[in-house]
Chain A
Amino acid sequence: MASDTATSPTKNEEPIHDSKQMKQTNAGLKQQKPPKKRKNRKILQNWQLYIFVLPAFLYFFIFHYIPMYGVQIAFKDFIPTLGIFGSEWVGFEHFTRFFDSYYFWDLITNTLGISVYELVVGFPLPIILALALNEAKDGLYKRTVQTVTYAPHFISVVVMAGMIIAFLSPATGMVNHFLQFLGFEPIAFMSDPAWFKTVYVLSGVWQSTGWGTIIYLAALAGVDPQHHEAAIVDGASRFQRIWHINIPAIVPTIVILLIMNVGNIMAMGFEKILLLQNPLNLESSNVIATFVYQAGLLDAQYSFAAAVGLFNAVINAILLIAVNQIAKKTSETSLW
């Protein structure tokens, strides 16, 4: 390190000289210089930065943009040996087959049902918990609550599904022991379609509410304490201060997260649903995403599954754009 700094001035003497000279000669010309030339120089000077982004560029090109090109198989009769390009166009055949199928409305209701349920129950809870945490004094207790409630975020979806199945087992599960202790009959949660959505949503609440508070706590930390001081002087109660100071302060965060959540409404935690799904609860657990997996990867109906997936993505995009527009009009906060 030391020798490095010692030698570098002599080593770099010429470049310094060079660039100074350049600057001097260019000083007068700089303003009239056509922007194109400046642009070219910028590119040349920083050519190594293109090598920095190259791996990421290749990654997104290969694993995200080529699949976007591949979406066209939804309108083709894809045969692997013919390739994407060589397969024959069939127009909207796969889409109409999907719309006319007897399971179409089941898939739609399950997909929307689970998402809306999750949004209604799961979205407000982190906000409430964050507001409550913000009221607590900094100290061991607050830190403990935070550390513990963040922890489930790191449990893998497979372990989470395992916990759900083990806890809800009719004969040996902890939840049913408790129900029996209270004098109720045990419930076969996992094989009863009526329970599936509740199990999915509440386990999600347990796992992600704590972690979800972080972003709101960050926003709450930015509230100017002077507002609170002034409100106290004016005789505002704690509750009034939360209502009139803290909540307005986090509204932009709430709106942004709400937009992102609605934008994901058709693409909810499909990995967890896939694990919790079984033939007995399929009636209420079969969603579009798991159907695409089943039809495309297990039954190898590539084109049909791609069409269903594309339908899902289009609905999602429409929802995202619509919610963003509404938010823009009503609250002046939006993603773009």
Chain B
Amino acid sequence: MNTAIKDTRADKVFKVFIFLFLTAALMVVLYPLIYIVSASISNPAAVNSGKMWLWPVDVTFEGYKMIFQNDDIWRGYLNTIFYTALGTLINLGVTIPAAYALARKDFYGRSFFTGMFVLTMFFSGGLIPTYLVVKSLGLIDTIWAMVLPNAAAVWNIIIARVFFQATIPKGLEEAAIIDGASNFKMFMKIILPLSAPIIAVMALFYGVGHWNGYFNALIYLSDKEMYPLQLVLREILVLQEMSSQNTNITGSMAEAMHSKQQLAAIIKYGVMIVSTLPIIIAYPFLQRYFVKGVMIGSLKG
């Protein structure tokens, strides 16, 4: 949008406004994030009294030490890794082949299947009937309740279908069929190697969904041993319960109670970071894939 013609004065003022607006947006989003990081490694007393407001005060790693000693968090972490890996694999196994078939113009019934899938975006049985189905299938309190009721998302199938329609050259399939390759063989040997970008985008979308989801676990799991990280977090952050079994209280009871209360505050900030860590680490590298996924979706949407 930069041109040879010089900006007028009004335009210059306008540009300054834009700059200020963007800076305000940046600050508003960034500040709470910095605050969490600083609070998680500051002296709890300083955090609770408001002395710590941007940078860490009296750096301490007590909070993280407590987090790493907490069995619930560890177990939740491992459970979540497992659910995310298994769930995402199932998601890809369901989404990619279906999206490919629906992208094929010579697939008789593609509009029927597309319609059937898309309809569920607008109409659903609702929470209770869905719960009853999961229950009657005997999935309650099994790992399958964590991965099957969300085995696919319509929106993601649409995005993947648009990708296949746009990127696989038409002649390729015809050539493969004339060469006598079956659809199955062609998919494995030709289509899949070409679809690395869409597989990556889909794995990210579904993976983040599994990592961050809590509601399925809340309604389908009652066994604490199976709780994913987000449900453990819910107890610590929202229900304000931190199991004391691992905290090894020493010294006089009153003193311990007080310091425990103080520590609870920074533990909360610490678990926010620990639980989001994989996404924080991956985010800068993968941001453009996420954005790409949204853009593909917007073509059709």
Contact = CB atoms under 8 A, between A and B. Distances in A.
A122 B106 CA distance: 43
A163 B32 contact: yes
B11 A206 contact: no
B287 A147 contact: yes
Contact of B183 (A49, A137, A145, A218): A49
Interface string B276-301: 10010001100100110011001001
Interface string A55-98: 11101101111111111010000000000100000000000000
Contact of A56 (B11, B98, B271): B98
Contacts of A317: 122-123
Interface stretch (B1-9, B194-202, B241-249, B250-258): B1-9
A56 B132 contact: no
A333 to B, nearest CB: 12
Interface stretch (A25-33, A99-107, A108-116, A174-182): A174-182
Contact of A239 (B14, B127, B183): B14
Given A68-B123, A296-B128, A148 B29 contact: yes
B230 A158 contact: yes
A71 B125 contact: yes
Given A8-B179, A48-B184, A56-B95, A309 B212 contact: no
Interface in B2-31: 2-3, 5, 7-8, 10-11, 14-15, 18-19, 21-22, 25-26, 28-30
A60 B153 CA distance: 9
B68 interface: no
A142 to B, nearest CB: 8
B181 to A, nearest CB: 8
Interface in A141-162: 141-142, 144-145, 147-152, 154-159, 161-162
B22 A155 contact: no
B104 interface: yes
B35 A174 contact: yes
Contacts of B214: 156-158, 271
A214 interface: yes
Interface stretch (B45-53, B55-63, B81-89): B45-53
Contacts of A7: none
Contact of B22 (A64, A65, A145, A171): A145
A274 B102 CA distance: 37
Given A48-B182, A57-B116, A149-B29, A309 B128 contact: yes
Contact of A214 (B47, B208, B295): B295
Contacts of B123: 68, 313, 317
Interface in B119-138: 120, 122-134, 137
**Interface SS of chain B:** helix
B124 A313 contact: yes
A39 B100 CA distance: 20
A64 B125 contact: yes
Interface stretch (A128-136, A191-199, A279-287): A128-136
B108 A43 contact: yes
A215 interface: yes
B97 A52 contact: yes
A15 B283 CA distance: 49
A175 to B, nearest CB: 10
21 contacts: A14-B180, A62-B137, A63-B148, A67-B125, A69-B125, A70-B133, A134-B1, A135-B18, A149-B26, A154-B283, A158-B233, A166-B237, A174-B35, A177-B53, A206-B28, A218-B295, A233-B5, A238-B7, A293-B127, A293-B219, A305-B128
Nearest to B234: A158
Contacts of A274: 215
B215 A163 contact: no
Contacts of B108: 39, 42-43, 46
B48 A172 contact: yes
A135 B291 CA distance: 19
Contacts of B230: 156, 158
B165 interface: no
Contacts of B133: 62-63, 66-67, 70
A55 B8 contact: no
